[in-house]
């Protein structure tokens, strides 16, 4: 217990301690909201009736509370001044908008409100200054007045002219336009953009390169208009009149420079620079812009007609530029410009806010660049630093302001100003002083680490001044190379060992107090690779698979966390790639490898604490990588030199390179320009055409194939123009259009034009007269010239030309003929050659030869055409061309001494068999035929038919096919039937042909082909026949099905539709057992025994008559009763059947249940030839068999449908089962059996 005299001392100590614990932070103000614009315009109350408001924002943060005040033109601005009371509203027109901010609002602004405003935020620790805002009153003056005489211009046509504007004063600078004013129509703006003849200079004056008649404004006047966007006002004035002198004839003038903007321009980096040249002259000059000694940046440099614009100017844009004006009367006229680029200050190092503790050091860096070099000035709380009392704890070092051994009272706001003639940078940052005892933000709890790994024990500590921090394990202080302390308080323990496990304590202490934290470190056994990736190195061909294996171990306590991953060249393999697979044993499989798979593969084993890795190399032998660095030497007119560097050969030496090109005419089409067979080559010369813009790319080739194409050359190869090298090729004539001489040629592609103004020149010569024709559309490859001749020769030359001359290739003289016409001669005495037999497809004919002279043929004689047509269809003619041949000259008769007309003999082949034909013959030139000769009649003999029109497999069973086919389109006679054969196919081996089945019914179109092996492929042949023989076979391939399971139908409710068959040759009054057997030609299925069938008639053992027998009378009565019951049952059944209209359903499916079908080809029931689904020609999958395709499972096959097996009033059988015609379904006779 303390003595009484100690109590006052303790109270005093506690008081002193409390005094020594200052507030945690001394925070000067920092402005966080200020005007983004350095200049603001206002209209002023004299120019607007609206209550105009201007807001100058200002807000700041800091502690303690902040006060705001404003400077205007460097002086304290008092918003409460009574002079700001509005005369209109009697309330102040200047006030701060929100409590807690310094935002200044001015309304009903007057001229005296113009000035430079700046916000100051203050508290006990300093002052923060905003950027300056210049408030400017907008103004727009009025134009001077001119008399009409003063403003009238009197040029002659073709002379250049300048109209003055002399715009009035405007703040901000106005937008200037020119208008034409008419008292009736008002103002019409003059558009100069895109007009080579009319342009406005930067001062607003309007220029005419040459005066045209439409410029004379007899009733109009030209006016200059200025628009002030702030005042939303436009002023018109300085009106001018143009009165053209000297009549309507134009005078031509050489180029003169009417206007050049400032010759030396200082451009500000990042802004836009404009040069302007205006030339006069008639014809209107063309203007070109050039950069002297440098390249144009087409993305930023935009040459327009009279103006050159550089957007976002850069320092490297400095240099000389020129505009060049030309017309046909003078040499080029040039005007030069010099651009110097400067820029306003840009931060190199911008000051940042600083928080420091007492007794610590704070530094602020402020450095900027610009042209001219900016001047750096420092301020503290708005006062120039040089005006403050000197201090040995404040100093400058290399653009840094440094404060040492800080105290709480040195909290302040530091300002830095970097300025040159183009602008300034202003930084306003705070120096905050902190003072508080240590606090551990991230304490040590429990940390795990693997052996031989370094570990960081956390103890993130804060405190001002910065606390002293040390560590202990138990009672031992941790020092030495094994431990690395960090300023934050953390401790790094290097190369952990099992002995390092245990509890660790972190201690932190400064002048205001201390704190500690304890935690635990656990050390685990390290992870190791037990089986590194195997093989260590492997090489595979591309598109082959590659395999790697790997395994690892780790600490038993961490084995559940062990994971193995794979890296390719240090990057995780893409497991979403379908060609990459990780096996269950952590193996790596790379499928379908390519050159991209070449590289180092690393197996990484980790448990979350540490990791181990091992690597292997994979080399994929693949096509080369694309060549790179494709460049071009300057292109010549006919040669370009291409340079490249080869890509990786991917472990197979490069054999050669393929060079490809495209051009602007066909940019989507790449063509081969040549091959370079030197694998070490890096350049090649290529022949090119003039006036073409080329791009090139290179492909490398090795034994594994071609690389992907390289990137194309970045800069195009633009060749200069030249006269065409070639003339048009393949010049021919077209004699098909009477009254014309038609010349045709192959068009020349654009890359062969070699320059502008390309055209074809056709020259025609006849009888000493020459006529030239120009075709200026390169896509036209013919010229039609009207003539009054028929098949007359002309001498023709076709050449190519452009603006630089005619094609270098010599012109080719071609003899062309004017169009042909119908011959004037007609063959006669057309007849069959006597003694020559007419066969199925050929007959021999003869006729009198015609005069084949050009005058009579009116064209080039080509031969004859024998024409034939069916006697009943004369409009459909077929022609057989008979080429010209040596005519047979008949002998001269000695008796009569006269020449017999020669005969022409020819055969006509491929005549249609079994046809009544009419024939004639005509003589033909290239395009026309003569009139027909006399016609003759001819009947060709019967032949063999064509193929059947189609053939399909309707039903496929395990041992049979049901086939259907269509009649041949051309029978060529009388059809007598068909033959069907088949061959078994076993892989690529085709078996022997079976003996064909013959069908002598020409109307038959279905047949059953049985006796086949199950699940076997067959080729089926079908021939159509006439009495002459069989035609070409039609064949199809099909596969039999697998055998179905054996089954017998089960008996179901009685149905109204029965299937039955007559059994003849039975004995009367005899009991029989009946079975139904279903067969597909090979297998059979037998039904249950039906044992209660008794035939009618008297038993052989019966004596006497039966009519009077009692049993007979009883039986007849019973039959009558049964018939009555049957009628009632049938009526009920009929009523129930209305719920499912079988006959209507059949009609909708295309069947006619009331019409007889007749014989269904070899007694195949209807259900089999019309299955539920259409059968394809061949089935390879038994799961896809159609219903009815199995000989035992099908309800309808062979008509073996037991009518007692289904209910629903017979509707299922009526729709799908086999049916007989109603006449066949009548009640059976006494010798019929229901089955």
Beta strands in 399-501 (DSSP E): 400-403, 412-420, 423-434, 436-442, 446-450, 455-457, 460-464, 468-473, 476-477, 483-485, 491-493
Task: Supply the DSSP symbol for 1132.
Answer: H
Kindly report, residue by residue over 668-689, the tens digit of the pLDDT. 999 999 999 999 999 999 999 9
Kindly report, residue by residue over 1122-1164, the tens digit of the pLDDT. 898 888 888 776 655 444 343 333 333 333 433 333 333 333 3
Residues 261 and 274: beta-carbon distance below 8 Å = yes
Locate 587 and state its tokens: 């193996």
The CB-side HSE value for 643 (13 A sphere, CA atoms) comes to 7
Pick from 265-274, 626-635, 895-904: least confident? 895-904
Kindly report, residue by residue over 28-47, the tens digit of the pLDDT. 999 999 998 999 999 887 66
Residues 850 and 882: beta-carbon distance below 8 Å = no
Kindly report, residue by residue over 543-601, the tens digit of the pLDDT. 999 999 999 999 999 999 999 999 999 999 999 999 999 988 889 999 999 999 999 99
DSSP 345-363: EEEEE----EEEETT--EE
Q: Residue 1079's pLDDT band (boundaries 50, 70, 90)?
A: low
pLDDT recorded at residue 95: 84
Backbone angles phi, psi at 1147, to 5 degrees: -65, -40
How many angstroms separate the Cα of 916 from the Cα of each of 229, 837, 869, 911, 938? 96, 16, 8, 11, 6
pLDDT recorded at residue 264: 95
Q: Residue 1033's pLDDT band (boundaries 50, 70, 90)?
A: very high
Residues 640 and 717: beta-carbon distance below 8 Å = yes
| Residues near 151 by beta carbon (within 8 Å), at least 6 away in sequence | 221, 238, 239, 240, 241
* Number of other residues whose CB lies within 10 A of the CB of residue 160: 21
Length of the chain: 1235
Q: Residue 322's pLDDT band (boundaries 50, 70, 90)?
A: very high
Strands, sheet with 571-572, edge to edge from the N-terminal-most edge strand = 537-541, 611-621, 599-606, 563-568, 571-572
Kindly report, residue by residue over 953-1004, the tens digit of the pLDDT. 999 999 999 999 999 999 999 999 999 999 999 988 999 999 999 999 999 9
pLDDT recorded at residue 1195: 34
546 vs 1021: CA distance, rounded Å: 51
Residues 119 and 102: beta-carbon distance below 8 Å = yes
pLDDT recorded at residue 409: 86
pLDDT recorded at residue 866: 97
DSSP 225-274: EEEETTTTEEEEEEEEEE--BS-S----EEEEEEEE--SEEEEETTS-EE
Residues facing residue 592 across a β-bridge: none
pLDDT recorded at residue 1087: 63
Q: Is the pLDDT of residue 1235 over 80?
A: no
Residues facing residue 76 across a β-bridge: 71
pLDDT recorded at residue 400: 92
Structural domains of the chain, with CATH:
25-137 (2.60.40.10), 143-341 (2.60.40.10), 350-434 (2.60.40.10), 436-524 (2.60.40.10), 528-621 (2.60.40.10), 628-718 (2.60.40.10), 732-817 (2.60.40.10), 828-939 (2.60.40.10), 948-1039 (2.60.40.10), 1060-1098+1110-1234 (no CATH)
Locate 1069 and state its tokens: 């009054």
pLDDT recorded at residue 472: 96
DSSP 1158-1221: ---TTT--HHHHS-SSPPPS----GGGPPTT-STTT-SSGGG---TTS--GGGHHHHHHS----
Kindly report the three-state secondary structure assignment for every residue of 266-319. EEECCCCEEEEEEEEEECCCEEEEEEECCCCCCCCEEECCCEEEECCCCHHHCE
Strand 948-956 relative to strand 75-77, pairing:
unpaired
Long-range contacts of 597-602 (CB under 8 A, 24+ apart): 597/546, 597/568, 598/622, 598/650, 598/651, 599/568, 599/569, 600/568, 600/569, 600/570, 601/533, 601/548, 601/566, 601/567, 601/568, 601/573, 602/533, 602/566, 602/567, 602/568, 602/570
Kindly report, residue by residue over 1168-1202, the tens digit of the pLDDT. 333 333 333 433 444 444 333 444 333 333 333 34
CA end-to-end distance (rounded Å), the chain:
127
Q: What average pLDDT does range 170-195 have in this prediction?
A: 85
Residue with tokens 């694309």: 626
Q: Is the pLDDT of residue 1165 over 90?
A: no
Task: Supply the DSSP symbol for 591.
Answer: -
Backbone angles phi, psi at 1199, to 5 degrees: 70, 20
pLDDT recorded at residue 88: 78
Locate 740 and state its tokens: 């014309």
- Name the nearest CA neighbour of 868 among 882, 857, 848, 886: 882
Residues facing residue 178 across a β-bridge: 224
pLDDT recorded at residue 947: 96
Q: Is the pLDDT of residue 426 over 90?
A: yes
Strand 805-806 relative to strand 828-832, pairing:
unpaired
905 vs 899: CA distance, rounded Å: 18
Higher pLDDT, 625 or 48: 625
Say whether 320 sits in a helix, a strand or coil.
Answer: strand
Pick from 159-168, 197-206, 544-553, 1196-1205: least confident? 1196-1205
Percent of the chain with pLDDT over 70: 83
Say whether 980 sits in a helix, a strand or coil.
Answer: strand
Kindly report, residue by residue over 1044-1060, the tens digit of the pLDDT. 665 555 445 544 444 56
Locate 259 and state its tokens: 């206007």
Q: Residue 1081's pLDDT band (boundaries 50, 70, 90)?
A: low
Kindly report, residue by residue over 357-382, the tens digit of the pLDDT. 998 999 999 999 999 999 999 999 99
Strand 916-924 relative to strand 936-939, pairing:
antiparallel
1086 vs 311: CA distance, rounded Å: 99
Pick from 25-39, 173-187, 322-336: least confident? 173-187
Residue with tokens 């022409």: 904
143 vs 606: CA distance, rounded Å: 85
Residues facing residue 287 across a β-bridge: 325
How many angstroms separate the Cα of 106 from the Cα of each of 55, 84, 94, 745, 885? 7, 9, 5, 83, 112
Backbone angles phi, psi at 1125, to 5 degrees: -60, -40
Backbone angles phi, psi at 1114, to 5 degrees: -60, -40
189 vs 830: CA distance, rounded Å: 86
Backbone angles phi, psi at 804, to 5 degrees: -100, -5
* 63 class by beta-carbon count within 10 Å (0-12 exposed, 13-18 middle, 19+ buried): middle
């Amino acid at each position: 217990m303390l003595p009484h005299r100690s109590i006052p001392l303790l109270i005093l100590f506690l008081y002193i301690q409390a005094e020594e614990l200052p507030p945690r932070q001394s925070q000067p103000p920092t402005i966080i909201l200020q005007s983004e614009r350095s200049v603001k315009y206002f209209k002023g109350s004299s120019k607007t009736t609206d209550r105009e408001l201007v807001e100058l924002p200002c807000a700041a943060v800091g502690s303690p509370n902040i006060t705001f005040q404003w400077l205007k033109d460097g002086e304290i601005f008092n918003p409460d001044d009574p002079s700001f009371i509005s005369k209109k509203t009697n309330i102040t027109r200047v006030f701060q908008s929100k409590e807690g901010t310094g935002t200044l609002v001015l309304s009903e602004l007057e001229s005296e409100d113009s000035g430079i405003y700046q916000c100051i935020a203050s508290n006990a620790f300093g002052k923060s200054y905003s950027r300056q805002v210049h408030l400017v009153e907008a103004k727009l003056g009025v134009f001077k007045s001119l008399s009409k005489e003063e403003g009238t211009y009197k040029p002659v046509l073709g002379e250049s002219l300048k109209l003055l504007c002399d715009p009035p004063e405007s703040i901000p600078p106005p937008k200037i336009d020119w208008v034409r004013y008419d008292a009736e129509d008002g103002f019409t703006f003059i558009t100069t953009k895109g007009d080579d003849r009319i342009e406005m200079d930067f001062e607003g004056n309007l220029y005419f390169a040459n005066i045209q008649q439409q410029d004379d404004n007899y009733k109009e006047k030209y006016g200059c208009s200025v628009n002030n966007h702030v005042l939303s006002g436009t002023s018109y004035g300085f009106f001018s009149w143009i009165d053209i002198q000297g009549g309507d004839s134009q005078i031509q003038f050489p180029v003169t420079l009417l206007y050049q903007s400032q010759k030396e321009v200082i451009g500000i980096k990042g802004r836009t620079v404009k040069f302007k040249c205006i030339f006069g002259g008639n014809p209107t000059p063309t203007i070109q812009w050039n950069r002297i000694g440098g390249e144009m940046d087409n993305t930023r440099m935009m040459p327009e007609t009279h103006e050159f614009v550089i957007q976002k100017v850069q320092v490297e844009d400095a240099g000389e530029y020129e505009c060049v004006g030309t017309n046909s009367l003078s040499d080029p006229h040039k005007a030069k410009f010099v651009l110097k680029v400067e820029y306003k200050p840009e931060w190199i190092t911008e000051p940042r806010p600083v928080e420091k503790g007492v007794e610590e050091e704070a530094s602020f860096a402020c450095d900027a660049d610009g042209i001219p070099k900016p001047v750096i000035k420092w301020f503290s709380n708005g006062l120039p630093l040089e005006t403050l009392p000197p201090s040995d704890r404040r100093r400058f070092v290399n653009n840094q302001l440094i404060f040492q051994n800080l105290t709480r009272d040195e909290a302040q706001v530091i300002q830095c100003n970097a300025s040159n003639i183009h602008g300034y940078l202003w930084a306003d940052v705070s120096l905050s002083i902190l003072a508080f005892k240590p606090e551990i933000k991230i304490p040590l709890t429990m940390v795990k680490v693997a052996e031989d790994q370094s570990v960081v024990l956390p103890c993130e500590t804060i405190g001002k001044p910065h606390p002293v921090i040390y560590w202990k394990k138990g009672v031992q202080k941790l020092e030495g190379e094994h431990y690395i302390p960090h300023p934050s308080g953390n401790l790094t323990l290097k190369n952990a060992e099992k002995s390092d496990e245990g509890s660790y304590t972190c201690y932190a202490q400064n002048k205001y107090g201390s704190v500690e934290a304890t935690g635990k470190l656990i050390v685990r056994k390290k992870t190791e690779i037990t089986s590194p990736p195997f093989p260590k190195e492997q090489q595979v061909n591309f598109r082959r698979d590659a395999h790697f294996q790997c395994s690892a171990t780790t600490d038993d306590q961490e084995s559940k966390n062990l994971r193995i991953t794979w890296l390719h060249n240090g990057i995780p393999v893409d497991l979403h790639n379908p060609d990459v697979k990780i096996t269950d044993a952590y193996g790596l499989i790379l499928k379908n490898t390519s050159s991209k798979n070449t590289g180092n593969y690393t197996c990484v084993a980790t448990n979350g604490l540490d990791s181990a890795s091992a690597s292997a190399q994979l080399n994929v032998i693949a096509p080369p990588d694309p060549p790179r660095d494709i460049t071009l030497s300057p292109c010549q007119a006919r040669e370009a030199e291409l340079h490249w560097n080869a890509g990786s050969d991917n472990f197979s030496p490069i054999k050669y390179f393929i060079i490809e090109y495209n051009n602007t005419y066909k940019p989507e089409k790449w063509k081969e320009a040549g091959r370079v067979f030197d694998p070490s080559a890096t350049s090649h010369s290529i022949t090119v055409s003039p006036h073409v813009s080329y791009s090139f790319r290179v492909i490398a080739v090795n034994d594994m194939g071609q690389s992907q194409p390289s990137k194309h050359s970045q800069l195009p190869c633009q060749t200069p123009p030249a006269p065409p090298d070639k003339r048009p090729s393949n010049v021919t004539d077209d004699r098909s259009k009477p009254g014309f001489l038609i010349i045709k040629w192959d068009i020349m592609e654009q890359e062969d034009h070699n320059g502008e103004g390309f055209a074809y020149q056709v020259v025609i010569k006849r009888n000493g007269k020459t006529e030239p024709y120009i075709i200026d559309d390169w896509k036209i490859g013919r010229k039609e010239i009207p003539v009054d001749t028929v098949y007359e020769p002309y001498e023709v030359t076709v050449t190519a030309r452009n603006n630089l001359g005619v094609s270098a290739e010599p012109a080719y003289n071609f003899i062309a003929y004017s169009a042909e016409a119908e011959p004037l001669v007609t063959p006669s005495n057309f007849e069959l050659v006597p003694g020559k037999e007419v066969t199925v497809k050929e007959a021999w004919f003869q006729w009198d030869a015609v005069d084949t002279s050009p005058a009579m043929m009116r064209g080039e004689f080509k031969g004859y055409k024998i024409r034939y047509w069916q006697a009943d269809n004369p409009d459909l003619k077929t022609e057989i061309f008979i080429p010209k041949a040596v005519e047979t000259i008949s002998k001269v008769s000695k008796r009569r001494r006269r020449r017999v007309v020669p005969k022409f003999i020819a055969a006509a082949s491929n005549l249609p068999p079994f046809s009544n034909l009419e024939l004639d013959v005509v003589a033909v030139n290239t395009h026309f035929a003569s009139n027909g000769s006399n016609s003759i009649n001819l009947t060709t003999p019967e032949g063999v038919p064509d193929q059947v029109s189609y053939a399909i497999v309707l039903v496929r069973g395990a041992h049979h096919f049901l086939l259907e086919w269509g009649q041949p389109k051309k029978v060529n006679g009388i059809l007598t039937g068909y033959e069907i054969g088949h061959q078994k196919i076993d892989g690529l081996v085709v078996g022997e042909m079976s003996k064909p089945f013959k069908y002598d019914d020409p109307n038959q179109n279905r047949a059953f082909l049985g006796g086949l092996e199950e699940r076997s492929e067959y080729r089926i042949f079908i021939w159509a026949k006439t009495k002459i023989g069989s035609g070409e076979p039609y064949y199809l391939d099909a596969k039999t099905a697998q055998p179905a399971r054996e089954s017998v139908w089960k008996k179901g409710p009685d149905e109204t539709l029965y299937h039955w068959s007559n059994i003849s040759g039975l004995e009367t009054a005899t009991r029989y057992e009946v079975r139904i057997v279903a067969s597909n030609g090979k297998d059979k299925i037998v039904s249950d025994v039906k044992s209660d069938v008794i035939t009618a008639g008297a038993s052989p053992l019966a004596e006497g008559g039966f009519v009077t027998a009692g049993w007979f009378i009883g039986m007849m009565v019973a039959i009558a009763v049964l018939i009555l019951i049957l009628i009632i049952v049938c009526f009920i059944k009929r009523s129930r059947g209305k719920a499912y209209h079988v006959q209507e359903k059949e009609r909708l499916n295309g069947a006619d249940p009331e019409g007889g079908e007749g014989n269904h080809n070899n007694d195949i029931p209807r259900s089999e030839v019309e299955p539920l689904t259409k059968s394809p020609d061949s089935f390879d999958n038994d799961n896809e068999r159609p219903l009815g395709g199995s000989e035992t499972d099908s309800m309808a096959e062979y008509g073996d449908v037991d009518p007692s097996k289904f209910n629903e009033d017979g509707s299922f059988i009526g729709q799908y089962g086999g049916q007989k015609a109603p006449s066949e379904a009548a009640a059976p006779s006494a010798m019929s059996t229901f089955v």
